[in-house]
């Protein structure tokens, strides 16, 4: 019988999945370096996720066709990744992922003039300083789960479509006014107390879950908004929502709401999360949600006083005939 070690992959056993040697995926090999690994010069994608790398192999600097490069879940410190700023031959790189490493600063990636995706989430970064050097071509920026206290140096990112800054130390929404093409903004698990979206009229998804909001005022100009996530805050009143006519998903669970207001005009609403609030009665809920009566398919009201109402589910299904889910109960 073969030993367990005989069944483990080794780099020399890896087979390139296409005859042109365009993609090399070394995910999960737990490599400490790339010695002994053949790196074809024709590579377009190189994925080194889940290894033990802490320094850059110099051969990567010669991959002139490279478009996607991932160092996700490795052991890179700042000094280990810094040499990439002089890798001129791969300046056409479009996607760079250094997620889940040990960085404390934004690396210098100014050499990549066509960069579209940049991910440095799950590091130990203390500032966005250095982002001013990044190419304005960028469409997706991920800096979640770091120690960033301030939104800065992003004014020039006019093509940005996704901005992820969740799980940081942000207290203020600021310096977003130039991001006129932004479609998704993820700011959950910060310390934000007030909404300031600078009239981002193209934005479709916003998450401000687990912050310190006490008011919903500030979303009224986001007329393209389709999904809004505000759970785990301190909001006591639903307001400023009547203009959001494209809204499909609204999550205001785990707040301090006592009534459902200001969404009567929303005709596209499909999912409504109101659980873990202080809503006492179902009376008038059908009127408060008159616009979405036929579109609403999911509603959560559990752990509100009203959820103890006799015939709770029957009443809700009478109010909203196309419901397929009430709390955790799914109907055929």
Tell me, what's the pLDDT at 246? 98
Pair 230, 215: CB distance under 8 Å: no
Tell me, what's the pLDDT at 15? 45
pLDDT in tens, 1-57: 334 444 445 555 554 445 578 999 999 999 999 999 999 999 999 999 999 999 999
Percent of the chain with pLDDT over 90: 92
Query: Burial level of 154, CB count in 10 A (0-12/13-18/19+)?
Result: buried
Tell me, what's the pLDDT at 5? 42
Tell me, what's the pLDDT at 12? 54
Tell me, what's the pLDDT at 227? 98
pLDDT in tens, 86-119: 999 999 999 999 999 999 999 999 999 999 999 9
Tell me, what's the pLDDT at 198? 73
> Looking at the DSSP assignment, which residues form a beta bridge with residue 52?
none
Could you give the CA distance from residue 223 to residue 241 in angstroms, rounded to a whole number?
Answer: 10
Query: Burial level of 294, CB count in 10 A (0-12/13-18/19+)?
Result: exposed
Could you give the CA distance from residue 54 to residue 75 in angstroms, rounded to a whole number?
Answer: 5
Integer-rounded Cα radius of gyration of the chain? 24
* Low-confidence residues in the chain, pLDDT < 50: 1-8, 15-17
Q: Where are the alpha helices (DSSP H) in the chain?
A: 78-81, 285-288, 312-319
Tell me, what's the pLDDT at 37? 96
């Amino acid at each position: 019988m073969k030993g367990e070690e005989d069944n483990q992959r080794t780099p020399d056993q890896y087979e390139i999945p296409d005859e042109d040697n365009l993609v090399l995926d070394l995910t999960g090999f737990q490599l400490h370096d790339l010695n002994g690994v053949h790196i074809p010069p024709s590579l377009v994608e190189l994925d080194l996720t889940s290894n033990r790398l802490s320094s850059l192999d110099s051969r990567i600097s010669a991959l002139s066709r490279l478009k996607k490069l991932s160092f996700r879940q490795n052991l890179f410190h700042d000094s280990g990744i810094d040499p990439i700023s002089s890798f001129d031959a791969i300046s056409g790189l479009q996607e760079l992922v250094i997620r889940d490493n040990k960085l404390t600063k934004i690396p210098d990636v100014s050499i990549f003039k066509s960069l579209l995706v940049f991910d440095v989430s799950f590091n130990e970064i203390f500032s966005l300083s250095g982002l001013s050097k990044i190419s304005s071509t960028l469409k997706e920026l991920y800096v979640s789960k770091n120690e960033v206290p301030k939104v800065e140096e992003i004014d020039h990112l006019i093509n940005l479509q996704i901005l992820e800054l969740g799980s940081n130390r942000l207290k203020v929404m600021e310096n977003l006014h130039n991001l006129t093409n932004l479609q998704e903004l993820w700011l959950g698990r910060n310390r934000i107390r007030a909404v300031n979206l600078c009239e981002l009229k193209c934005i479709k998804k916003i998450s401000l879950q687990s912050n310190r909001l006490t008011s919903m005022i500030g979303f009224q100009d986001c007329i393209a908004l389709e999904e809004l996530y505000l759970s785990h805050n301190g909001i006591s009143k639903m307001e400023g929502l009547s203009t959001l006519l494209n809204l499909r998903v609204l999550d205001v669970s785990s707040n301090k709401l006592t009534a459902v207001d200001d969404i009567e005009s929303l005709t596209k609403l499909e999912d409504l999360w109101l659980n873990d609030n202080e809503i006492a009665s179902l009376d008038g809920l059908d009127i408060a949600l008159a616009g979405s009566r036929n579109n609403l398919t999911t509603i959560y009201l559990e752990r509100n006083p009203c959820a103890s109402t006799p015939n709770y589910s029957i009443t809700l299904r009478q109010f909203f005939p196309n419901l397929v889910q009430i709390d955790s109960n799914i109907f055929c």
